[in-house]
Chains A and B, each alone.
Chain A
C-alpha cells in the first residue's frame, strides 16, 4: 500500500520513528478535516451550538479549545465558514501561535515572516484580539492575494501586508516573530500525495540554503526579551534541527526554550544526523510525527533573545 513512498524516504525517516509501520500507514491516509474558531467573530459555544443544530459532529481538541476536527466534508458549506466565524486549518498549522500565545497577548509589534496564505497570521491576530500591529510579509507575490482574502474574511484589522525578501527586511525590532519557513513540505503528504512523486533530497538541500539566512535575519529582527518561533512542515533534520543549530552557532545570544502542549504529543528532536552532532540545546525543540496525533508532520523551535 505504501509503494508510492520513495525507498530513500523510508530509509531516511523510518529509523527516526518509534513505529515505522504505523508511520508509513498513517502517511497513506488523508488527515482529518479540522478548523479553528475565529475568536474575532465567534465564540466556541456559538459554533458548538450552531453545528449541533446542523447535525454536524465536531470534536474539540483538549490542548487548544479553538481547534476542532470533523469527519463531515461539508464544513466549508456552512454559514459560519462563509462569514469567517470558523477558519479551515490543519491542526499542526495551529501549533506555532499556540506556543507563543502568552507573548502574543502582550505584543505590540509582531512579524509573520512568511505569512501567506495567512492561516497563522489570522490566528495570531485573533489571539491579539486585533490589538497591536502584525507585519504579514511574504516573498511570493502570487500568494499575497490569498493572504489578503483571508485577512478580510476573518475580520483581521491589525495587519500590514508587505512583499519583501525577508533577508533584506529593514531592521525593526519585533516583540514576537513567527518564521514558518518555506520547506520541502514532507509533512503535508497526507493532504497532497503528489509530494511523494516529486520528492528528492536535492530539494531538502535547496530549502535549507534558504532557511539558514532566514533564521539569522529573523533573529536579528527580534527585540531583546522577545520570542521567535521557527517552524516547518517537514521531517528533514537538515531543515529543522540543522537550521536551528546553525542559528545557535552564529548567534550566541539565541536561547532555546522547551516546548510542551498539554494533551498533544510532541516528540524529541534529532540530536545527530549524517554524522553531524547538533548543539545539546537542540533537545528543547520538538517534532510532530503524523501517527502520534493523527495530523501532518511538523517541527517547532521556540527561541528567545
Chain B
C-alpha cells in the first residue's frame, strides 16, 4: 500500500501522453522553455498526478514518493503551487502581478477581486509579487480563486 494517495505505482508516464497533454498545456499557456524539464524524469502517479523527479529510479525498496508533483491531469490540467514556486520565473504569459497588500491576502489563501488585468486570460494563472512567484490562482473575469494549498497558507509579517 502506498504511503498516501499522492503517489500510485511509480511507473514512468506514457511520454506521448505527457507531451500531448500536460507539457503542451504548460508550454502553451505559460510559455515555459520546452527544455526546462529535460534534466529530470516525468512520472505518472495515481489520479493523473504528474511528478517531476530524478531520471534514475530504483526498483527496490518501494518508492513512497519522488520529486515534486507539478501538475494534475484528472479531467482538466491543473498546475501546482510547487511548480510555480520553483519555475515561476520562467513563465512569460498568463501571470498577474499583485501589490504588497494583495500578496498578504493571497498567501492567507483568500479569493480576490482584481482590477485591470493584463498578460492573462481566464484559466490558471501565476501570481507574482514583483518578480517573485507566489503560487497559482484560477482567473475568471476579474475574480481570482485562490489555489494556495491549505497547509501552506500563512499570515506574513515581513513581505
Contacts and interface: CB of A to CB of B under 8 A. Distances in A.
Interface of A: 40-41, 54, 56, 74, 77-79, 82-84, 108-109, 130-135, 137, 141, 144-145, 148-149, 151-152, 155-164, 169-170, 172
Contact of B86 (A41, A161, A162): A41
Contacts of A161: 63-66
Interface in B130-159: 132, 134, 151-152, 154-159
A152 B154 contact: no
B85 A83 contact: yes
A135 B53 CA distance: 12
B85 A84 contact: yes
Contact of A157 (B4, B61, B67, B85): B67
B54 interface: yes
B58 A135 contact: yes
Contact of B56 (A133, A144, A163): A133
B102 to A, nearest CB: 13
Given A74-B157, A149-B151, A152-B82, A160 B57 contact: yes
Contact of B53 (A40, A82, A159, A170): A159
Nearest to B154: A82
Interface string B46-80: 00000011111110111111111100000000000
B158 A56 contact: yes
Given A77-B157, A82-B154, A133-B54, A155 B67 contact: no
Contacts of B52: 157
Contacts of B6: 148
19 contacts: A74-B158, A78-B157, A78-B158, A82-B156, A83-B132, A148-B64, A152-B68, A155-B68, A155-B82, A156-B67, A157-B40, A159-B54, A159-B67, A160-B53, A160-B65, A161-B63, A161-B66, A162-B63, A170-B58
Given A131-B39, A158-B54, A144 B82 contact: no
Contacts of B65: 148, 160-161
A115 to B, nearest CB: 11
Interface of B: 3-4, 6, 39-40, 52-58, 60-69, 82, 85-86, 103, 107, 129, 132, 134, 151-152, 154-159
Contact of A163 (B64, B86, B154, B155): B64
Contacts of B63: 160-162
B54 A132 contact: yes
B62 A156 contact: no
A170 B85 CA distance: 35
A161 B86 CA distance: 19
Contacts of A155: 68, 82, 85-86
A82 B107 contact: yes
Given A77-B155, A160-B53, A162-B62, 10 more contacts: A79-B132, A83-B85, A108-B56, A132-B56, A148-B6, A152-B82, A158-B40, A160-B65, A161-B64, A163-B62
Closest 6 CB pairs of A and B: A133-B54, A77-B157, A155-B86, A78-B158, A164-B61, A161-B64
Given A54-B158, A78-B157, A82-B156, A158 B82 contact: no
A84 B86 CA distance: 10
Given A77-B156, A77-B158, A149-B151, A163 B53 contact: no
B158 to A, nearest CB: 4
Contact of A160 (B3, B58, B132, B159): B58
Nearest to B149: A152
B159 A157 contact: no
A214 to B, nearest CB: 16
Contacts of A144: 3, 64
